[in-house]
A and B are shown apart, each in its own frame.
Chain A
Amino acid sequence: MATSSEGVWRVSSCLPKAYSGVLNYMTNLLHGIDRLFDLFFRLMKPLPALAVLTVFAILTAAFSLVIVRWTSNQKAIRKIKDSIGAHVLEVRLFSDQPRVVLRAYVGLLRSLSGYLLCALPPALVLTLPLLLIFGQLEDRFENSPVTPGFDFLVSASLGSGDSLPDVALRLPPDLYQTAPAVRIAPEREIDWRIQAKRSGVFDLHLVLQGQEISKRVVVGSDASSIAPRRVVGNVLQQIMSPSEPPLPHGGSVQQIQIQYPARLFDVGPWRVGWIAPYVVLTIIAALLLRKPLHAEI
């Protein structure tokens, strides 16, 4: 398993001190959050994935409502919502009077702008924590682990240069290459076809000009976190892929990607990714919880 220190030490050597400090802090923080989520997921292991997603949707909704309640002008939101309702009814009640209808419509647009403006402060406050939650959930719900005995691809994207450098792939004993590496020069990409003998979490290593970079692979395991990519890091990338540290800046490798199969949920007649049910469930939970939590949204 990749350690957090590996990438960060190298990153910090290439970047201004302050930025590397931020990245260090961020890596530690994300690592902490990652462990916290691991703990949550371990506790909820007996539950089906959709139930776990529902629990997170409810928690997200409750957390967001509390933030909305404390960071927005609740009285103003209530007033603006009433005004929106009044304008909608005005259009219906006085539909015989075009002047009233037009005026109501203009009033409605004004009220809607006010409503969105009122929603902006909580949106600003919620952005960072929700991105953190999203990053975690994406790592855990976006992909399924690869299956033992089935091929999967490992791709490395390399930085600009005249020719593709020699990159060696060092595999643990339970993983083996099923085809020679494919080098796509125009794309500056090298692909390997790999198979796993058994389930587990493994680290494969790319060796390039004496530099060794690892990438975690989850095979048929019930590990909660599956990060498909490891990329050259910045703050946003770290938030989005929190379970592995970013690749060092200035290195030749820009990204290592494992082609995991997508994880789909059965929702009635549909098979959908995690984001749609999560968004719908948070909205439903928020609507149900807004009264008990006294939050106007």
Chain B
Amino acid sequence: MKTYDLAIIGGGLVGSAIAWGAARAGAHVALLDEGDAALRAARGNFGLVWVQGKGAGMPAYAAWTQRSAQLWPELRDALEGETNLRLGLEQPGGFYFCLSEAELEKRASLIQRMSHESGDIGTRVIGRAEARAMVPGLGTEVVGGTYCPMDGHVNPLYLLRALQASLRAARGDYLPNRHVTQIVPQAGGFVLSCGDERLLCQKLVLSAGLGSRDLAPMVGLDMPVQPLRGQILVTERMRPFLHFPTHNVRQTQEGTVLLGDSHEDVGFDTDTAIPVQQQIAARNMRVFPALRDATLIRSWSALRVMSPDGHPIYEQSAAHPGAFAAACHSGVTLAGAHALAYAPSIVAGVLPDQLLPFSSQRFHVQAH
């Protein structure tokens, strides 16, 4: 039976980043992944490394997000050095554009509230003129927005590929087509069952997205995640015109433009729906009118992994120490922190203090 220091269950962005970070920290790692047709939230990711607006009401999440954005260049340098892939990380700052005064006011007060709650990271409100000066091509309906110098974007598919390639080079085992059906804690570790195969590990991480929900109780964890669909539209390649990411439009390294986003409570349905796409198209056209003539060549949807309050779940099992939870819907933004902060801690068998507020216990706190 194969034996590992650490088994990571789920080979998406969260699992792959943790596996890579753990191998780098010296652990003998197995990354278990499903097959080509799995749900794979990782393939649906927009690609933002996004800080502004994250963690309203939960300063710990705002802090964790900021830390990740700061760690990202180190992650990028390591991966690009090890793999020859160009991840396209750019952190020029990002915009959230508003199409009415009411929207702008609401956004401004959110940012102000967060500045008091979790500190001022430089996010500022900008008016129509300044927005237009910074971003050519904005429509006349854009009244302004918020700009945060910490925001950025990256190619999420190349990130996943680089993490897995680099993991393999570090002699971590990438084990695809493994659907873990059972985890049995035992003295000194855990036995994982996938089909007829058994695997032994000292520690494990549940990062299986929506699949974590059913595995969690087996190791004394609680990961009550639900799907929330998001749809993305992609255009043909265009010559570079958008040099900053915005919260729902960004232009990739190859020149394609990605348009989002939607939040649809539709269970496990990964089909694409016209009315939602129409809204995405219509809204983004108001922000960048010249997109009107851009050709759409692809659309896709993916299921976000949502906890009850939308914030991540990180925890070490009290009943079975060595079993760790990792669930979030911002696998790209948090890759820096997952790889360079959470992973080394997991290898040492410790949950970072910074992550104590993310325990699933918070979902059971009674209101007084």
Genuine A/B complex: no
Contact surface of A with B, Cβ cutoff 8 Å: none
